[in-house]
Amino acid sequence: MNERLNVLVVDDEYPVLVTAAAILSEDFRVMTATNADAAMKLLSQHTFDVLCTDFNMPGRNGIQLLREATAAQPHLSGVLVTGHREYLEKRDKYDAQGLYYLLIKPYQPSQLVDLIHRAAESSRLKRMMSSLSSELGAWKRVL
């Protein structure tokens, strides 16, 4: 991939947010938000390929944010970052099959970059499928 894809990173812990953004900025265009409200505002103003969000945040958690974000931008792919214990305690409550890729803390920077690349590829494929579906619909109308 030659184009730099757009990634939105959301975390209420500023040092974690800045570190993740710095790691990802080598491969992606990165914007950041410290909470779900700020993230949704950015999502209303920009198109993103990947939303990388912490699970445990004040207000709406990461899964709630991913649900809202993918409703607003259907081609968006999500990465949920969480501590193992907090996710396991609540995973049944927040069943969201296929909504996101999961990264368990603590993680290595290379794991974050690799997972964002996979999510970005998923986003690219969603866009391609949508485009092909639209083209097929146009051809059906012509025929």
CATH of the domain at 49: 3.40.50.2300
The total domain count for the chain is: 1
For residue 5, give Cα distances in angstroms to 49, 51, 76, 85, 136: 6, 11, 11, 31, 26
- What are residue 31's DSSP bridge partners? 8
- What are residue 82's DSSP bridge partners? 104
C-beta of residue 83 within 8 angstroms of C-beta of residue 58: no
What pLDDT, on a 0 to 100 scale, did the predictor assign at position 1?
45
Q: What is the DSSP letter of 5?
A: P
Q: Please check whether residue 56 lies inside any domain of the structure.
A: yes
Average pLDDT per block of 10 residues along the chain, 143 residues long: 84 96 97 98 97 94 92 94 72 62 91 96 87 65 62
Rounded-to-integer distance, Cα 79 and Cα 90, Å: 17
pLDDT tens, residue by residue, 59-92: 999 989 999 999 999 999 999 998 866 666 666 6
C-beta of residue 21 within 8 angstroms of C-beta of residue 32: yes
Q: Please check whether residue 1 lies inside any domain of the structure.
A: no
Task: Detail the DSSP E strand segments found in the chain.
Answer: 6-10, 29-33, 50-54, 77-83, 101-105
Q: Please check whether residue 59 lies inside any domain of the structure.
A: yes
Radius of gyration of the chain (CA): 16
Q: Please check whether residue 132 lies inside any domain of the structure.
A: yes
> What residues contact residue 134 under an 8 Å CB cut-off, 6+ apart?
none
Write down the pTM of the prediction. Answer: 0.85
Residue 76's H or E segment, with its range, is none
Q: Please check whether residue 97 lies inside any domain of the structure.
A: yes
Q: In which domain, by residue range, is 132 found?
A: 6-140
